[in-house]
Structure 1
Amino acid sequence: MTRILRIITSADPRTGGPIEGARRVGEIWANQGHRQDMLTLDPPGERHLADYPGTITALGPPRGLGPLDRYRYAREMIPWLRAHAGNYDAVIVSGLWRYAARGAAQALAGKAPPYFVFPHGMLDPWFRRAAPLKHVAKQASWWWAEGPLLAGARAVLFTSEEERRRAEGAFRPYRLRSAVVNYGTADLRSDGGDIEAFRQAVPALGDRPFLLFLGRIHPKKGCDLLVQAFAAVAARDPSLDLVIAGPDDVGLVAGLRSAAQRAGLAARIHFPGMLTGTSKSGALRAASAFVLPSHQENFGIAVAEALAAGTPVLISDQVAIWREVAADGAGLVAPDTLLGTIDLLTRFLDCDPEQRLAMRRAARACFTARFHIDRAADSLRLLIEREIA
C-alpha cells in the first residue's frame, strides 16, 4: 500500500479543479488499496467531502480575516507536518502562493518523505500580464518560499506539455525537475433523470437548447467575452439560450446581468449559480456545446467533464489542452479575444446536425482516450512509486 499525504489550501468543492482532481484520485487509490490523506488550511470547524475515503485534517484559521484570509496562515501546519509527514511514503503539495506552499517548503526541506508539487497553472505568464504589481510581490515570495519548494521537490508535476512550456522561466531563479502526468476527471454518472433535474433548477430556460459555461465566475475565465459574443450572434438562432453556471466569489454576475439586459437578452442568458450532482451532470449532457473562452487554464476540469458527457467544447487557445481537443475533432478553438469568441460561436452555429453529432462522438472518444480519471490516477501513482523506489 502506498500512503500519500496531499497538502491543499481547501477541500471545499467550490474552489475549483484542484480539489476535484485530488478527491477523485484519492477515491480511485482507495479502491486499489492505497491511501491519500489530506492536510488543508480550512478552519477545523468546516467539514467538506464527508464521504472521502481518507482522513482530512483541517488546520487553518477562522474565516473573515480580511486580506490575510486568502493566504491562510496556519501556525500549526509546520509542527503538524514535522510530527506526521514521516507516516507517509510521499507528499503532494497542490498549488502555490498560499501558506500551504510556505509551510511545506519549511517543514519538508531536506527531510523524508520525498515530495511533489502541482503548480496547477499558477506559473502561467497570463498572471504577470494581468497583474504586474502582484507579480513583483510573487517574485519576492519566490525567493523565500515557492522557489525553494519547487527546487527541493522530487518532481514538479504539470498536467499538460502546454502548461510546462508556458511556465518555463516564470520566476528567477527557475530551478526545478519537471514531469508531465495525465490528468482528468471521473466519468459522468447518470440515473436518467439528470437532464430533468437540471431543467428544474433553471426553470426560466424551459426546454430550449443552450450553450453552457460551467465553472468559477472569475475575470480570467472570459465570461464577459462570452456574454458579448453571444449578443453578437444571438439573432442567428433565436431559439438558443446561454447558461453561465458557477460560484461568483468576486461579484461579477451583477455586471454580466447588466450587459445581458443592455443587449436585450436578459431572458436568454441564465445565471443559476453553482450546479452540483445531477443538476451539474444534466447541464453538461443537455448542452448543445460547452464554452470556455478563458484567458488562462492549465487544464480545465470542466472541459474534461463536458467531453465525458459527449458535449462539444468551444475553448480558447489559452486552455492548455486545446491541442488535444483540436486534434481529436472534439470541439473548436480560437483566441481568447472578443473576435475569437464570436468566431467560436459562429463556427459552431454554422455546423449542420451531422457535424454536431460527429463532434459529440469525438468528444466522448477524446475523454475516454486522454482524460479519464483512472488514467490520471495510475499515471500519478506510478510516477511517485518510481521516484520513491
Structure 2
Amino acid sequence: MNLLHVITSMSPENGGPAQGIRTLNNAMLGMGVIREVACVDAPDSAYLGKDEFKIHALGPAKGPWCYSPELIDWLKSNILRFDVVMINGLWLYQSYAAWKVLKKLKKETAGKPFPRILVMPHGMLDPYFQRASGRKLKAIRNWLYWKLIESKVVNDADGLLFTCETELLLARETFKPYRPKKEYNVGYGVATPQPYNDNLSLAFNQLCPGLNGSPYLLFLSRVHQKKGVDLLLNAYISLHKRLANKNMPKLVIAGPGLDTPFGIMIQQLLENEPEIKKDVFFPGMLTGDAKWGAFYGCEAFVLPSHQENFGIAVVEALACGKPVLISNQVNIWREIMDSGGGLICDDTISGIKNILEKWISLDAAEKVKESNCALNTYQQLFTTSKAASNFFNAFINHNPI
C-alpha cells in the first residue's frame, strides 16, 4: 500500500503531526505501508534528508496561509500513484490544495480506481479555539473560512481520523455543516523511551542542581497560559503554605517560553515567597537525555491544560511508568481515568490543588501501584504498534473504530 501524507511542514518544531508521521514509520513498514510526504518546507531545510521515507519539499511557503504554487503542480502529477492520501491538519493551504486537486481528478477519472482520502485534524476542530477569550476575530475568520473552504475538505473526504474519543466528540460541536462520511478514533502512538540509565539523571540534575535527589513533580510543556501553568503554580504555592512544607514534593516547570511576558510573570509569582521559591525549578526546554532524566526521576507528571488535543508528553510520562495528574481538558483524560493511569481534575486552582493534595497523601505502596498502572496504560493504549494497527484499519475502509 502506498500512502501520501500532505502536511504543511515536517520541521521538528511543528510538533505532534510531524513527529507522529516519523514515530509510526517502522510499524507502518511492518504492515507493508510505504509512505511519502508532500510539504511546503524549503528544500534546503536542515532537518530534511534524515528520514527513511521520501519527503517532497515544495516550498518555501509564503505568508500566514503557507501558500506554495509548487504543491498543486506536484499533487496533479503524483497523487494518483497512491492508494491513500492523508491530509494532516486544517486551516492552511495544504488542505485546500489537496482537496482542489482531488476534486478535479475525481471528475476526470470517473469509474477508475481512486485514492482513499482521509483527513486528520490534529485537534484543529476543537471548539476551544472558537470560544477562547482573545480569539473573537480569529473565530470569525475561521467560521468564514469553514463556510468557503474547510467544510468541503472535511465533508468530501472518505473519513476523519481522531487521536481519541474526546477529540472526535468535540469536533461535532464546532462548525456547521459538519457531515463527515466516517469518523475513526485511531489513537496516537508514542515510541517506547530508552531504558533508564544513570546518565539520564546526570544530564537532568546538571540543569536542576538544587534538587539534590528530592522528590519532585514535573511539568514539561510550553510555558503558556493555555497550559494552565499559572494555575499550577498558584495551587502549589497555596498548598505549600498550608502544609508548611510537610511531605511537599518540589516542582519542576520545564519548557520553552520562560522569556515571554507570560513566562516572566510566572516566575515573578515566587518573588515574595522565598521559602517556596527554593523548591521550584525552571530549567527551560529539556531535550535528549535531560528530558528523559526528568521523566524517569519525577514522582508524577502534571499538565493542567485548558485545552490539549492529545498530549504527547503525557503519554511519554506514562511510558516511563509515571502517573499523570491532568485536567479534564486534556483530551485523553477518559482513557487515563478508565485505565487508572493518573488523577483527573477540573482546570481550576481548586481542582489542581485537590489532585496535588491527593497525590501527596498517598503512601509509598500506593504510589508504586499508581506507577504500575501508568505503565500498563501506555502498553495497552498508546504504543506505536497499537496506533499503526488502528490507522491501517482506517486505510482499508474497515468500520469506524
Could you tell me the TM-score, scaled by structure 1's length? 0.91
Match of residue 259, structure 1, among 250, 262, 269: 269
Give the whole-Å Cα distance in 1 for the aligned partners of 2:398 and 2:96.
Answer: 23
Q: How far 1:46 sits from its partner (Å)?
A: 1.6
In 2, distance between residues paired with 1:49 and 1:349? Answer: 45
Structure number, greater radius of gyration: 2
User: 1:179 and 2:184 equivalent?
Assistant: yes
1:203 to 191, 209, 218: 209
Distance 1:42 1:214 in 2: 28
Q: 1:343 to 1:92 in 2, by over 3 A?
A: same
Q: Which stretch shows the higher mean deviation, 241-250 or 298-307?
A: 241-250
Q: 1:250 to 1:165 in 2, by over 3 A?
A: farther
Counterpart position of 2:342:
331
Does the C-alpha gap of structure 1 residues 361 and 12 become closer, same or farther in structure 2, counting only changes over 3 Å?
Answer: same
Q: Match for residue 83 of structure 2? A: 89
Aligned pairs (5 A) from 1:238-387: 240-248=249-257, 251=260, 252-264=262-274, 265-386=276-397
In 1: Cα distance, 2:268 partner to 2:259 partner: 16
Structure 1 residues 326 and 383: alpha-carbon distance in aligned structure 2, compared to 1, 3 A threshold: same
Alignment partner of 1:99 is 2:93: yes
Q: Secondary structure at the match of 1:76?
A: helix
1:138 to 124, 136, 142: 142
When structure 1 is superposed on structure 2, of 186-195 and 113-122 the one drifting more is 186-195
- Corresponding residue of 1:152: 156
2:104 maps to 1:115: no
SS in 2 for 1:179: strand
Whether the aligned pair in 2 keeps the contact of 1:220 and 1:296 (CA below 8 Å) is yes
Query: By how many angstroms is 1:312 displaced?
Result: 0.6
Q: Which amino acid aligns with 1:75?
A: P
Structure 1 segment 164-175 matched on structure 2, within 5 A: 164-175=168-179
3-state DSSP class of the match of 1:306?
helix
2:228 is equivalent to residue 222 of structure 1: yes
Decide whether aligned partners of structure 1 residues 268 and 105 sit closer, same or farther in structure 2, where only a CA change above 3 A counts: farther
Distance between the aligned counterparts of 1:49 and 1:338, measured in 2?
43
Q: Secondary structure at the match of 1:168?
A: helix
Mapped contact 2:196–2:296 kept (Cα < 8 A): no
Q: CA RMSD for the aligned pairs?
A: 2.2
Q: Please tell me whether the aligned partners of residues 258 and 284 of structure 2 are also in contact (alpha carbons under 8 angstroms).
A: no
The alpha-carbon deviation at position 41 of structure 1 amounts to 2.6
Deviates more, 1:224-233 or 1:302-311: 224-233
CA contact (8 A) 1:295 1:336 kept: yes
Q: Which residue of 2 aligns with 1:20?
A: 19
* CA distance in structure 2 between the aligned counterparts of 1:276 and 1:374, rounded to whole angstroms: 24
2:284 counterpart SS class: coil
Q: SS at the partner of 2:119? A: strand
Amino acid at match of 1:123: L
Q: Which runs of 5+ in 1 are unaligned?
A: none
Q: What percentage of aligned pairs have identical amino acids?
A: 37
SS in 1 for 2:214: coil
Residues 95/204 of structure 1: CA separation in 2 closer, same or farther (3 Å cut): farther
Question: Is the CA contact (8 Å cut-off) linking 1:160 and 1:299 kept in structure 2?
Answer: yes
The answer to which of 108-117 and 231-240 deviates more is 231-240
Check whether the contact 2:119–2:159 (CA below 8 A) recurs between aligned residues.
yes
Displacement of 1:144: 2.3
Q: C-alpha displacement at 1:89, in angstroms?
A: 1.4
Across the two proteins, how many residue pairs are aligned to each other? Answer: 382
- Asked if 1 retains the 8 angstrom alpha-carbon contact of 2:72 and 2:98, the reply is yes
Q: Which amino acid aligns with 1:321?
A: I
Q: Structure 1's 210 and 40: CA in aligned 2 closer, same or farther, altered over 3 A?
A: farther
Q: How far apart, CA to CA, are the structure 1 residues paired with 2:326 and 2:58?
A: 37
Matched residues in 2 for 1:60 and 1:231: separation?
A: 48
CA distance in structure 1 between the partners assigned to 2:273 and 2:99 by the alignment: 50
Which one is further off, 195-204 or 184-193? 195-204
